[in-house]
Structure 1
């Protein structure tokens, strides 16, 4: 049923009746009457009145056409003119003194005001005369038209207690402004079920609890949201009584369909009917707001003499007293509430309902608990629930009080210490004995404020600071503690650099700095990928093993840059003192922490990259301990999270440090230490790789170093190849770098000579000759010395000056070639075979030479001589190869009796270089057989492999280095064990290019490839003339013996 709003400019009101007919009635407008009184403490600018029709009608009676009784109307009219005779039950401003509040609380809690014996046995909180609030509630209408509904979040409102709400919806703000302008300030406030929901509209009744309060808007003023800057409105609500939602009208339901004009009919109505039928809140339909029809909820009757209610009331008062002793805010609120109660009644036990509401309103209970209290109409149950919430509040207050006392005790102790220390400082200043110790201590304390010290470190720091403050500066112990605190406060406790998890960026950095090294780069990219997936990076221990000059140390710097970590390097080559790793004890003079702690201090992060260089050359044992054993704790992932330095004497976490070790060989690294590291082998470079490295890295660096970065000075590719062949046959590129730098230095000199005119050069020479001639002057030369940090201006090389270094001019820059041929033998004689060796310097060719010491006819007994600084293993290999060759020759060429008489000398060239290893067995056996069959081996064939006595070829190591050496020596065929085929397949194509691979499982495979043209007859007759002479001499000797 739709009714129109009051018309202000005319005296016509339209009323829609039931059915399709519309009655047009002429009425005389009336103005609204005053609303119930508000406390004087609330400053509200408008006249707080409410339409008289609200106080005189109900929607139910209007539908049936009934009128309010005349007597009741008169009572209400008389009540409207009472004015503000009494204060409402709202809590006024809290301006009472604490002392008066405590006396009031004690008076109430001690039972000074007990329920009067003359009170009625039962009562209702809404009955007239019960309290001041009840009289106010009687002035409110019992039945309401549609009213604005406001959702409240987090806490429900309780009757008699103010609540400020912030409204951001423009439609709701406009509606409230219109309500205040029309002097109709009543709304329904209902708590949202979802506390996270932020809205000013109720679109569904399930969004809110159905029980709320009828609240009066006492004031409203514009405000602004600090976060969003959006215009809002702050409204102060005063709840009067409990209500319940009967029907919800969402914003979309407020649009109504206007009737047709033919359905309108005119009829006369009386003035009383007009007053009854006018709906003063109908203007809210024009706003997109939530409207509700509500009904009152009255408290259930209760017995004022009920011992349970009185006991609950007394218990609540007791809890209030206990809380007030612990919480000042509670004390003030309770005192204010007590004053409000005593102004209306002399006994708190007559107002148990208000006491329960007050307990719920001031407590910090859960949302559901408070809402349950709000909808409880049974006074006894409401008191029980309020008492439960209040007990929780007491527990929180006791806990807060305990925490507060503990904090206060600590603060007082610190304040006392600070006060005494300040007094001590003042006394020392007056006596003139200020030694700067206080400033030193203050400096240490400021340092640790920027650090995250573990609890153990903080405790030790406090102890050392206390010791320092009690010592005189002249004492030796003062200097020891000061040095210790210097180290302790400069270590990066809790400081780490930001990890770099971009694999593409890391790969780009590694490729910029180094060419090749695929295994090392892939391992770092894997390290980054694992860290990205885990969200953290744990420390690792990586060991790069390879010959000198392949970039082991420089790749460590590139890894640090790729991972965005600080870099620190220290070498352990020749280290024999364990204190270099774990530090000295503080009792020694000049004690210092170990290298690891020094690295952390210099890098100022807990996750640097520490490069331990030359770990294969570390000292072993001795009077100062074993450094390699000390490294076990540093490089063990299971132990280094609590590394204990002897000087710091505090566990230090090294688990985030990335350790990179370098070595030339694994043979001298202790096995326990080697097991803790992940080994990555870096092999030597082939010619193609060296050319790329020279063009992309070495030449640009050398030009920049020589000051020719922008000059037309270049080295041709042919010149680089000649450098590698005739000057630098190493596995790495260090020697190649030196020669390139030498070339550019000489080129810089030539460029300077071209730029400087000849006349000027001659004048300079004359001046120098005059200054250096003793007969020219006997006076000392005056040299002007200036102190400056400025460098001379760099010279610009003209573009027309161009220097090109090619093969023809290479000798002028680096001198005569060191190596004139690719191979030691262009044509190998019988008994000479090219073997392959693998040393710390990389792979190299190792020739094995076998010769007869004298003709067979002159040899009486077979002998074997070995030279060339062969190690024990190679000596055994030579004996084994000799026995195998004798057996093999006798098996395939039984008539060849070479080894019966031969005195053989086996030699490995470069006798100054020690040689050892098991992979020369195949080479030595081939050398013996080549000599026995008088067959030369092709000079382009190189071989390696360990041989057993039965002819089995065993697996060897370092195939890549040996293949590189074979290619560098001009070999075209390489023979290696068949078990190394997998290693051969992993070699880069540029290494295998130009090499024919011959895997050998047995020595028969080698013999067939090298001696296939030596048949049985030819092999048997190789030494036949020599043995015929030997046999003839033998027969002649026997004949003489018989005679």
Structure 2
């Protein structure tokens, strides 16, 4: 019977008294255990918290106190079914139960017989199964365990376990004595299995093994493995302790030596220098490889005489190690709204660049350990590539360093020189990292397209491949340092005017972002917001004294500058401001009265022309129209590294002077453009009857042809002038002038198809600057007009063509294309 000794309230202990029933009878409730394997004839403490397990315990306490303890196959499953538990377990008797205030139960269960679950009779509200006992089997020889092999295993297990008890602190010495006094192999295996911290699978395997001899053999293997692991762990701990003791001993001896020297007044400057270097190195959290190298060099320095040249080399090397930001980093400012405000405040437009930076910050917020990005800003001079890099660094809260790659012709300038050379020093990358003061700065590599190598191989481009490769630059090795330096946290931003001179493998490592240039309206806004205030501040004038009207700024943009960027525009604004500053100072010096606040001056268009004289580009649009107002002349559009430009093609003919007609090309045309002239001429000759039926078929055999592209001092090349050349030749043949305000670009084939070209946005900007109102372009480039700003698209008519006949119809067909009112 069950007797309740005390009230079973919360926190009260329920003592179970009386003899429990012996023998194995079923069915019995089954209590699944997680990460716990029961052992026969051992006491097992358990914590029960699941609702169905609490109900099981309540029902067991109300009955004969017996249940079956079985280990779950998967500890992650909270309520396993019949298939989720092992078949072999242990019958247990609940000896004590404690109710905890949180509703859980603490049990002390006495394990008895090993049993196998044969059939489940219930699964709800908890598992109930029929069982059969699995008694121990001592083997055919002697029921008292007198088998020689069994005795040998018994003793080996005792000895091995005794060694483990001596080495493991969590096993008490009393357990070693108890094991040594056990003669029963069954009791021995059960005691050791229940006491040792081994894996659940190993314990379950020992439980399921009914052959005592096989069980002891398996237990011996497990004990041997555990003893080996303990031995290895002890060796590791001994080595670590030895190293700690050695370091501590050296530290104590050095401190004693230092105190003795100070007491004797024998302070050595060299020792002081070495001590300072040692303190600086100890204060750094250096990578293991770097720390080993630095320690080796420091010991070398201690043994080298101060007068030796090698002493200075080693000391300089260690000073470089100390000065680098190995683990110092700045925290990224991931506030997207603030970053957008900073970018908008520093630059007008450039939405693609700003969106890319905000995307990078968003990714960094979601994945803080993301690798650094490598951006390449490509565009003409003066569009703000370098200043944009500074704004990106300011928006992200990172340190900024700029490296100029223009003119770099040696790989050693990137990687540094080896220390065997006199005057060796690290390369520009490591020097920039030192100057930045952090391991995650923004490094801008300016003018990367202007690097040039000497000879074959080993150029700076090859060194840049490792610097700009996120898969390699975490172990960048400078020749001078000769230890890996992590560049993976650096954000690289490179700039270039053109991609043609950048090798393909290097270009493939960068994300290309193009900056085509600014429209006239964008230049006006940039001048009002940034250029004028900056020039006034630089020249000591206040914004309340001098202002620029929009007509004056438009005059500077259209008549005094003709560029994709705003560099020359700012220079012209500076000229105006300097002249005004001179006038203000001269007026103050001529007057006898004390200096007073100058009157507000607004610079007008007339005032600009008065101060600067006639503009360089004043009347250029009219000059262009005057040049093209004759047959045989057509206007094309070209792309250059400094932006788009217009291209005038002239064709002239004369009676042949020799036995065969000749074709002459002038204007410093490249090989590709000379081929374009021949291709255009071939198409016109093959389609003469269709494009100029009034011209005799033998016209080309009776005339020499001359194609000229003015501005002969400027080299020209590329296939995009094909349709311009063909139009100029047809205009010459028919005597019809090309429509005014029309420019064109496109490559042709011998069959008359018009192929797509590149740089449409730059060419459209050039068309706007030169007063062009209609642009003829390949139809396949129609999708590129989305890159052109809306104000510019609305001011230019685009005629999309597939064939040369469509070009001729638009350019020579009398279409009403002219200046807009």
TM-based fold match above 0.5: yes
Structure 1: runs of 5+ lacking an equivalent: 1-58, 61-142, 153-189, 198-202, 211-242, 252-287, 295-305, 309-313, 339-348, 350-355, 369-387, 763-796, 1015-1043
Q: Cα offset for 1:728?
A: 0.9
Q: Is the 8 A contact 2:6 2:12 kept in 1?
A: no
435, 439, 442: which is aligned to 1:606?
A: 439
Partner Cα distance (2:405, 2:340) in 1:
30
Structure 1 residues 396, 911: CA separation in 2 closer, same or farther (over 3 Å shift)? closer
Paired residue for 1:929, among 723, 730, 751?
730
* Distance across 2 between alignment mates of 1:291 and 1:931: 105
Q: Distance in 2 between matches of 1:1003 and 1:436?
A: 85
Does the CA-based 8 Å contact 2:720-2:745 persist in structure 1?
yes
- Give the SS at the match of 2:547: strand
The offset of 1:938, in angstroms, is 2.1
Alignment of 1:86-235 (within 5 A): 146=7, 150=11, 193=47
Displacement of 1:290 after TM fit?
13
Question: Quick one: which of 653, 675, 679 aligns to 1:876?
Answer: 675
Match of 1:705 among 506, 516, 538: 538
Deviation at residue 585 of structure 1 after TM alignment = 0.5
Aligned to 1:866: 665
Q: What residue number does 1:820 align with?
A: 618
Partner of residue 272, structure 2: 439
Aligned-partner Cα distance in 1 for 2:720–2:360 = 36
SS at match of 1:529: helix
1:249 to 1:755, Cα distance in 2 relative to 1, 3 A: same
State yes or no: 1:639 paired with 2:472: yes
Pairwise CA distance, 1:735: 0.6
Deviations 1:596-616 (A, max 9, x none): 111221223222221111111
Within the candidate set 374, 385, 408, 1:552 is matched to 385
Matched residue of 2:723: which SS? Answer: helix
Once the two structures are TM-superposed, the CA of residue 246 in structure 1 deviates from its matched residue by: 8.9
Cα separation, 2, equivalents of 1:684 and 1:465 = 54
Aligned mates of 1:1003, 1:912 — CA distance in 2: 30
The structure 2 residue matched to 1:893, chosen from 675, 693, 701, is 693
Please name the residue that 2:632 is paired with.
Answer: 831
What residue number does 1:967 align with?
A: 768
1:660 and 2:460 aligned? no
Shift of 1:752: 4.4
String of CA shifts for 1:416-463, please: whole Å, max 9, x gaps.
333444565567668876433333333334334443322211211221
Alpha-carbon distance, 1:926 to partner = 1.4
Corresponding residue SS for 1:809: helix
Indicate if the aligned counterparts of 1:830 and 1:937 stay in contact, CA closer than 8 A: yes
Of 730, 747, 751, the match for 1:946: 747
Deviation digits for residues 855-893 of structure 1, max 9, x if unmatched? Answer: x69999754433222222222222333343344334442
C-alpha spacing 1:823/1:757, structure 2 compared with 1 (3 Å): closer
Q: Cα distance 1:421–1:866, how it changes in 2: closer, same or farther (>3 A)?
A: same
**Pairwise CA RMSD:** 5.1
- C-alpha distance 471-931 of structure 1, shift in aligned 2 (>3 A): same
Match of 1:460 among 251, 274, 293: 293
Q: Is 1:738 the counterpart of 2:738 in the alignment? A: no
- 1:1030 maps to none
Alpha-carbon distance between aligned partners in 1 of 2:562 and 2:667, rounded to the nearest angstrom: 21
The 5-angstrom pairing of residues 467-866 of structure 1 reads 467-622=300-455, 625-752=458-585, 758-759=591-592, 798=597, 801-821=599-619, 822-827=621-626, 828-852=629-653, 862-866=661-665
Which residue pairs with 2:205 in the alignment? none
Relative to structure 1, the CA distance from residue 526 to residue 322 in structure 2 (aligned partners, 3 Å threshold; closer, same or farther) is closer
* 8 Å Cα contact 1:621-1:627 kept in structure 2: no
Map 1:902-921 → 2, pairs under 5 A: 902-921=703-722
Q: CA deviation at 1:721?
A: 0.9
Determine if contact 2:47/2:104 at 8 Å carries over to the other structure: no
Pairing partner for 2:778 from 962, 973, 977: 977
8 Å contact kept, 1:829–1:936? yes
For residues 660 and 456 of structure 1, what CA distance do their matches in structure 2 show?
A: 29
Greater Rg by CA: 1
Unpaired runs of at least 5, structure 2: 14-43, 62-92, 109-143, 147-154, 182-187, 201-219, 816-821
Q: Which residue of 2 aligns with 1:66?
A: none
- CA shift for structure 1 position 729: 1.0
Name the CA shift for 1:322/1:642 in 2 (closer, same or farther; >3 Å).
closer
Q: Is contact 1:471–1:478 with CA below 8 Å preserved after alignment?
A: yes
1:406, distance to aligned residue in structure 2 (A)? 4.1
Give the TM-score of the pair, scaled to structure 2.
Answer: 0.72
Contact 1:545 1:679 survives alignment (8 Å) = yes
Alpha carbons of 1:419 and 1:1012: their partners in 2 closer, same or farther (altered >3 Å)? closer
Decide whether the 8 Å contact of 2:737 with 2:812 is kept in 1. no
Answer whether contact 2:12 2:98 (CA < 8 A) is retained: no
Distance 2:275 2:384 in 1: 47
CA distance, structure 2, for counterparts of residue 618 and residue 639 of structure 1: 21
The CA distance in 2 between the partners of 1:887 and 1:401, in whole Å, is 93
The CA deviation at 1:635 is 1.9
Deviation at 1:757, TM superposition (A): 7.1
Decide whether aligned partners of structure 1 residues 936 and 651 sit closer, same or farther in structure 2, where only a CA change above 3 A counts.
Answer: same
Q: Distance in 2 between the 1:881 and 1:397 partners?
A: 87
- Change in CA separation of 1:206 and 1:925 when aligned onto 2, cut-off 3 Å: same
- Contact 1:825–1:939 (Cα < 8 Å) also in 2: no
Quick check: 1:834–1:845 contact (8 Å CA) kept in 2? yes
* Cα distance in structure 1, aligned partners of 2:364 and 2:97: 60
Q: 2: distance between equivalents of 1:548 and 1:291?
A: 78
Task: Give the 5 Å matches for 1:1015-1030.
Answer: none
Give deviations 1:45-75, integer Å, cap 9, x for gaps. Answer: xxxxxxxxxxxxxx99xxxxxxxxxxxxxxx
- CA deviations 1:506-564 (Å, max 9, x no partner) are 33322222122222223323333333443432123222111101111111222222333
CA deviation map 1:937-985 (0-9, x unaligned): 2221111112233322222111111111111111111111222112124
Instruction: Check 1:528–1:289 CA distance in 2 against 1; reply closer, same or farther (3 A cut).
Output: closer
SS at match of 1:811: helix
Paired residues of 1:848 and 1:907 also in contact (CA < 8 A): yes
In structure 2, the CA distance between the partners of 1:566 and 1:928, relative to structure 1 (3 Å rule), is same
Assess, with a 3 A threshold, how the Cα gap between structure 1 residues 400 and 645 changes in structure 2: closer, same or farther.
Answer: closer
> Deviation at 1:901?
4.0
> So what's the TM-score if we normalise by structure 1?
0.57
Offset at residue 993 of structure 1 (A): 1.7
Distance, in Å, in 2 between the alignment partners of 1:943 and 1:396 is 81
Partner of 1:75: none
1:277-301: CA deviation from partner (whole Å, max 9, x where unpaired):
xxxxxxxxxxx99999x9xxxxxxx
Task: Say if 1:898 and 1:932, in contact at 8 Å, map to a contact too.
Answer: no
Partner of residue 250, structure 2: 417
The CA distance in 2 between the partners of 1:997 and 1:977, in whole Å, is 10
* Structure-2 separation of matches of 1:936 and 1:329: 103
Deviations 1:106-163 (A, max 9, x none): xxxxxxxxxxxxxxxxxxxxxxxxxxxxxxxxxxxxx9564886479xxxxxxxxxxx
**Is the 2:11–2:98 Cα contact (8 Å) retained in structure 1?**
no
| Residue 393 of structure 1, CA deviation | 13
